[in-house]
Every structure is written in structure tokens, then in C-alpha cells.
Amino acid sequence: MKLIATGNEAVAYAVLDASPDFIAAYPITPQTTIVEALAKFKESGKLKATYIPVESEHSALSACIGAGSMGKRTFTATSSQGLLYMAEMLHWASNARLPIVMANVNRALAPGWNLWADLSDSLSQRDAGWLQLYVSTVQEAYDTILMAYRISEDPNVLLPVMVNLEGFVLSHSAQPLETLEGCYLEPLDLPHRLDTGTPHTLGNVASPNDYFKLRRDAENAARKSAKVTRKAEKELFELTGRAYRPVMEYRCDDADVIIAAMGVFAREAEAACDILRDKGVKVGVARVRQFRPFPEFDFDGRLIVIDRDYSYGCGGILAQEIRARTGKPVYSVIAGLGGQDMTYKDFVKIVIESREEGERWWGID
Amino acid sequence: MLRGNSACPGCQANLALRHVLRACGADTILILTPGCSAACQGIYPDTCINVPVLNTAFAAGASTAIGVAASTDSNVVVYAGDGATADIGLASLSFALEYNTDFLYICYDNEAYGNTGAQRSGTTPYGARTTTTPGGKRQHKKDIDSIVCAHQIPYMATAAAAYPDDLYRKVKKALSYKGSKFIHVLTPCPTLWGFPQEKSAYIGKLAIKTGAWVLYEKDSGKISISLWSKNILDKYLPLEDYLKAQSRFSGISDKDILELKRNMNESVKRLVQE
């Protein structure tokens, strides 16, 4: 089906096509239109899942953990404060090895109250054990939700996946969308699901040795997920012709300067890249789509990393990851926090004014 | 429930769980929140519970049950302490009840945070000493039962581990209803309350005989006082007998005993009037 849809609508269509058994969610701007769309699908009979509008995000994820432990396919969505309110259960979901899929609509954290795009919410949860993917278009939001189920439910993975899209700039922006007809996912077969026929206990007291082993298993699964993600990308490419990679490269082959960024920001940087190329500056854009596990990041050019997020005392979070991965000097730019408008003109200026190494809070420093 | 668990001798929380599980049968999924009952289930890979058990976070007993209940026709039972029920888990419990989730929620009430070593909870009674109320609690026990009943669920009851036949009957009855059921079980704790282990059942019975705990049920909106409490409504033993048997009330002033009695009488009066 071809249509014009917003990022949030694309997420809802993908959930519909993933045919989950159970959805629990709580509204929060700018995620709300996802749960509203799902409620409409449910009301019209299109969506077969049990849909429960619970009283908080903590309960939304807890309910998904309950249904997930019964071997059911689940979905929830949140944003910002809601994601942080879930924090305890985020770790629970990954440590319980449950393949839950969640859409997080990236929004700034209070105070002061701010509803606009900022990746600090999900990036502050980067160690919660969820695989994290960041999308940049409406179509990619749709495709990635479906791929997320494929990845999380793989018997070698069994970890939850968070699909991130920026608030308003993507969640409420309309673009063309092509949906698949019907669900291409195989039924979920959770090996440790609860069953009254063969009673067992999930999550009881674990001695240090057993605890340690369980964590190592989860770590191995997170590492293996990269390979499974490549398989899911290949499968989707064969189905649709749309190609996704952990790092999406734009004119990177002969680039002297690489701009690294995530989400919509990186697409804006592509426009800047074209302008700079016309001026003779060989720029490329590396859009990090897969943040956890952090992918290979191997480029020859000088690195400019643009973060719409921060870790106080440590700077941009993507910059930290890329520094750690490459061991190379990085020019780190923190920009667009709380939805500060950034156009391709800003990105052109960033490149022109950049140095070999350093940090700059754009528009302030 | 299988033989052998790591509960303290004289533990009524585990005694009550044994009778709950006996009433529920094998077609049951049990949800545990952190607390004594979770600590007593055994250390992985062992367990003393022979039905599927899902451990969940402190505030998440009822909300986890929402997901389980949506995924099975088996009995879904939450067995959670007073802290997990009346304090940290109250919001999620409230939604689950308001939604009339098809499950049985059992609160075992030892009137303090037991597994962390006796800190005050919302259901700690007035005058009781805990490690966070060393001079005695200055607030009354939270009336979680009225809060639960305000959700207009099909079945609510109080019970006591010391009266297992009554508890068993109430669990059976609760499970015969669709929708949300709530049973509030008094489970005296020798360690927290300060009485000898062998007096556990005695203290449990004394709670009813002195009127410190009233056994009743609210079935489809109608309250009835259960037999063990009904027979003694006008001939309670002195409350002092119950208080003096427990070191958590040692040093309680006469004024505080009067205040405790006043509050208790009011609760009983309200129940009888309803």
C-alpha cells in the first residue's frame, strides 16, 4: 500500500503489519499519535492484539514483560520522561531476555519542559541492554520496526529492540510510505516462556556465579545480534529493494572529512555535503543507524561528530563512542538540543569552522 | 508448594502461600514481587514452588499480571507484600483493579518491610516500632482494603494465615469470579514483630480475637463478616493481650493504646454498618 504518512503513523502501520499479540502503552508528547493510531486500528478490528492503555510507562513495559514471558509478541512506545520512568523495567526486559520492540520518539528531558527533538533520552539508556536503532525517514521508521521484530525474536538474540525517531521533525512530518501486505515475520517461539505444563521459575534469586553466566550469555547475544541484523537487512532488501546498513554512508568513498551523526540530523548534513562538494571540499556523511551494539566505524577522513545529546562532563555521546571505536581524534559538535533548529547551512558552517580535534556547543561557543 | 524453603521458622507469609497454592491448583501462574516470599522461593536453579513463577520488580506486580492475564486462561495470582501493594505498587494495582484485570491479587501483610529488616510501611500499625520508626509509628495503618473496594471489583476479602481453612475457602471463591479479586492476608512475623517462633499461630489467632484484624469479605459489593470474627464481635479479648505479646509494641504509652483502640473500633463499626 502506498500512502503519505507521518513517522508516528509509519510506526503504527508497522506494528499493525507485525501482528503483535499484546500492546500496552501510555501517552506522551510526541509519541501520542502512535498509541492513538493503534487504538483506532484496534477499534476497527484491523489490529488483533490485546491493547491495554495502562496508567504509566513503568506499567506499560511491565505488562509487556508479563505478556512477553508468556511467549507473546509485544509492543510499546514512549518518549523522554516516559522512557526514564521505564528505566527499571528496561533493564528487566533485557536481563529477562525478552524480545520486546519499542518505539521511542526522541524528546528533550526536563527541566525546563521541552517537547522537541533531542537524543539524550534514549542515549542515556544506552547501557540498559536494549539494541538501539535510529531512523531518519518515515519509510525507514516503518521498515525498522519490522526488522526489529526479526532481530529481537531470533533465537540467537532474544533481546529487546528500541527504534528511535526524533520528535516532531520525524514523528509528525509526512512523507511517502510504502507498506508491505501482511506479516512476513515468523511466529515467535520463546524457549523460556512460562507454561503450566512444564512449570519453571523466571527471575528468582541467582548466586554470583549463575548471575555472571546469565549476563555473559546476554552480552554474547548482543554481539551476535549484529550478524542477525545484517540478515534482517538483506531479507528486507530482497522484499522491498530498500537497503539498510549499520552505518549509512553518503559520498564517503573519497572523503577527506566525515560528518558522523544520527537520525534526521544526518540527512540534513547530506544536503550540506552536496554544497561543500560543489565548493571542492570532499565531505561525506556517515549516519549511525545501529547504536547498540556499536558497529564498525572505519573511515580515512577527518572526523566531525555531531551530537544532539550530551553526557555532562563527558560531552557528546556519539563522539565518545566513535573515539572509543576508532581511537582517532574527533571534532565534537553538540547541537540542536531541545529542538534547536539546525539547517544544512549550519552544517556547512560547522565543517568550514571545524578543527582537527575539540568540542563546540553550536550557537553558544 | 514443595518441601523445603528458606523462610524463617514460624513464617506465616510462606504458610499462607502454601494454602493459597493448594487452593489454586496446578493450572496457575504465580507472580512474585521482591520481599520475603520471593527470597524464600529458593536459589536458581532450585525452587520450592511447583507452578510457573514470574518474578517481577517491586512496583510491577499488578502491571506484570496484566500482561500475563492477557496471555493465558490459567489462574493468574500475584502474591505480594504490604510494601509492594500499599506503597510502591499502589498505582499499578489501582489501574489493574480499575481495568478489572482477570486475576487474583493477594497481599500478605506483615505490617513492615520485612525482607529489608523491619522498616515502616503504609500498613504498619500506629504505635509499632520499626527500624525507621524507633519511637513507634505516629500514623495509622493505611486502609488499603477501602482503597481496593473503591475500585468496585467483584470480590475482596481479608484473611489470616492462622485460619487456613478460611483462607483456602476465600481463594477458591475468589477464583470462581471473572475479573479482579483481592485478598488481604495477615501474616504475623516472629522476626519483625518480636514474638517466639512457636507462638506464630497463637499471635495470628490473637489478632482476630482482640479485634486487631477482622476477617470479612466483600462479595459483589456486599460485606459479610467471616465466621471467626463474627462470633466474637461483641466479646473481644483486651487489645493489650495482643500488644504485650509483641516486642514491637513494647513501651507503647497508655495514650497510644487508647488511640489505637479508638481507630480500631471505628474501623469495626464502619464494617458492621456496611
In chain B, residues with a C-beta closer than 8 Å to the C-beta of A70 are 29, 67-68, 71-72
Q: What is the pLDDT of residues A306-319, one digit of tens each?
A: 999 999 999 999 99
In chain A, residues with a C-beta closer than 8 Å to the C-beta of B24 are none
Which of A110-124, A335-349, B221-235 shows the lowest per-residue confidence on average (mean pLDDT)?
A: B221-235
Residues whose CB falls within 8 Å of the CB of residue A312, separated by 6 or more in sequence, listed in order: none
For CATH 3.40.50.970, the residue range(s) in chain A are 2-240
Inter-chain CB proximity B45 and A210 less than 8 Å = yes
pLDDT for residue B76 = 98
Torsion of CA B62, B86, B94, B220, to 10 degrees: 100
pLDDT for residue B234 = 84
Interface ipTM above 0.85: yes
Rounded to whole angstroms, the Cα distance separating A331 from A326 reads 13
B-chain residue closest to A203, CA distance: B55
pLDDT for residue B272 = 86
Beta strand A131-134 pairing with A290-292? antiparallel
* Beta carbons within 10 angstroms of residue B139's beta carbon: 11
Inter-chain CB proximity A70 and B72 less than 8 Å = yes
pLDDT for residue B180 = 98
**Quick one: average pLDDT of B233-261?**
96
Interface mutation target, options B27, B58, B64, chain A, most CBs of A under 10 Å:
B64
Q: In which band, very low, low, confident or very high, does the pLDDT at A278 lie, cut at 50, 70 and 90?
A: very high
Show which residues on chain A lie within 8 Å of chain B, measured between beta carbons. Answer: 21-22, 24, 50, 52, 54-56, 58-60, 62-72, 74, 88-89, 92, 194-196, 199-207, 210
Alpha helices in A100-179, H assignment, sequence order:
120-123, 138-152
Collapsing DSSP states into helix, strand and coil, what is residue B160? strand
Share of chain B above pLDDT 70, in %: 100
Interface mutation target, options A23, A201, A202, A212, chain B, most CBs of B under 10 Å:
A201
**Mean pLDDT of the residues in chain B:** 96
Whether B249 shows a pLDDT value over 90: the answer reads yes
Q: What is the pLDDT of residues A160-196, one digit of tens each?
A: 999 999 999 999 999 999 999 878 899 999 999 999 9
* Beta carbons within 10 angstroms of residue B176's beta carbon: 9
For A247-361, which CATH class?
Answer: alpha beta
- The CATH number given to A2-240 is 3.40.50.970
| B62/chain A closest Cα distance in angstroms | 8
Q: Which of A55, A72, A207 sits opposite B91 (nearest CB)?
A: A55
**Quick one: average pLDDT of B163-169?**
98
Rounded to whole angstroms, the Cα distance separating B255 from A270 reads 77
Give residue limits of the domains in chain B. Answer: 12-273
pLDDT for residue B212 = 96
Distance of CA A30 to the CA centre of its chain: 15
φ, ψ of residue B24 to 5 degrees: the values are: -75, -40
Rounded to whole angstroms, the Cα distance separating A269 from A259 reads 7
| CB of A41 closer than 8 Å to CB of A179 | no
CATH for B12-273 (2.40.40.20, 3.40.50.970, 3.20.20.70, 3.40.30.10) = 3.40.50.970
**Quick one: average pLDDT of A114-140?**
98
Whether B93 shows a pLDDT value over 90: the answer reads yes
In chain A, residues with a C-beta closer than 8 Å to the C-beta of B54 are 66, 69, 194, 202-203
Residues whose CB falls within 8 Å of the CB of residue B19, separated by 6 or more in sequence, listed in order: B161, B164, B167, B168, B171
Q: Which of B195, B187, B140 is nearest to B167 (CA)?
A: B187
pLDDT for residue B6 = 87
Rounded to whole angstroms, the Cα distance separating A29 from A155 reads 34
Q: What is the pLDDT of residues A188-245, one digit of tens each?
A: 999 999 999 999 999 999 999 999 999 999 999 999 999 999 999 999 999 999 999 9
Rounded to whole angstroms, the Cα distance separating A121 from A109 reads 7
